[in-house]
Amino acid sequence: MEISAIKGDITKQTDVEAIVNAANESLLGGGGVDGAIHYAAGPGLLKECRTLGGCRMGEAKITGAYNLPCKYVIHTVGPRWHGGNNGEERLLRSCYVSCLELAVKNGIRTIDFPSISTGAFGYPVEDASNVAVAAVYEFVKDHPDEFDMIRWVCFDNNTLRYYSRQIGLIQKQLS
Ligand code: ADP
């Protein structure tokens, strides 16, 4: 079981069953990673997303992956940052838990996450990485043997630095 962070484009990963999309409530596409995923997946993804009736913040929905190299896309809607006292942490944690629950339900053992909420939604990367990495380790502790790999695919060096550091800190505490 591997928990890691790499730098890269989440649409280009060829060794995972599912990638997570940081979507918005409509699930009808947007900018950032959402735009990149729809572009790479092709129009079939939007067509399937239209049947889902959107997604609430902190929840997740699963679709096929169409022209992407993976099998599934798990769409989740992160919180917009409004200063940190508006349930942002609880909602971000809920995104990770909802995605991992859907993965378990679908027998998915390898999954890539983007840095949910830290682009257009403005969540500070350091805070988001703390919440995200803690949520994943907690979930894995409660669900041993369900995953082979959980990985963040970070688009830039700064984001990678925070996720790597946070993973390192938790690994050290556990060893
Ligand atoms: P949100 O609206 O949840 O903030 P964004 O897509 O704006 O979502 O940003 C989330 C993170 O995804 C940012 O760190 C952004 O740089 C990153 N990102 C954008 N495109 C990609 C991609 N192709 N692969 C991985 N990460 C990406």
Return the best residue to mutate from 19, 70, 91, 115 for the ligand 1 pocket (most ligand atoms within 8 A of CB).
115
Q: Which atom of ligand 1 is nearest to the CA of 159?
A: 14
- CB count within 10 Å of CB 34 equals 21
- Which of 84, 72, 161, 54 is CA-nearest to residue 115? 161
The first and second tokens of residue 84, run together, are 């940190």
CA of 5 to the centre of ligand 1 (A): 14
Kindly state the greatest CA–CA separation across the chain: 46
* Angle, in degrees to the nearest 10, between helices 125-142 and 157-174: 40
Ligand 1, atom 18, lies closest to the CA of 33
Ligand 1 pocket (Cβ < 6 Å) reads 9-11, 22, 32-34, 36, 78, 114-121, 153, 155-156, 159
Ligand 1, atom 1, lies closest to the CA of 117
- Which of 56, 64, 55, 65 is CA-nearest to residue 27? 55
Ligand 1, atom 20, lies closest to the CA of 33
Q: Is the entire prediction scored with pTM above 0.85?
A: yes
Ligand 1, atom 26, lies closest to the CA of 155
Q: How far apart are CA 99 and CA 96, in angstroms?
A: 5
In this prediction, residue 175 carries a pLDDT of: 87
Q: Write down the CATH superfamily of domain 2-174.
A: Leucine Aminopeptidase, subunit E, domain 1 (3.40.220.10)
**What are the tens digits of pLDDT across the range 77-126?**
999 999 999 999 999 999 999 999 999 999 999 999 999 999 999 999 99
CB crowding 109-148: b at 16 or more within 10 Å, else e: bbbbbbbbbbbebebebebbbbbbbbbbbebbeeeeebbe
Return the best residue to mutate from 13, 24, 33 for the ligand 1 pocket (most ligand atoms within 8 A of CB).
33
The tens place of each residue's pLDDT in the chain, 175 residues long, gives 999 999 999 999 999 999 999 999 999 999 999 999 999 999 999 999 999 999 999 999 999 999 999 999 999 999 999 999 999 999 999 999 999 999 999 999 999 999 999 999 999 999 999 999 999 999 999 999 999 999 999 999 999 999 999 999 999 999 8
What is the spatial order of strands in the sheet that 72-77 belongs to?
Answer: 2-7, 149-154, 110-113, 18-23, 72-77, 60-64
Domain ranges of the chain: 2-174
Ligand 1, atom 15, lies closest to the CA of 119
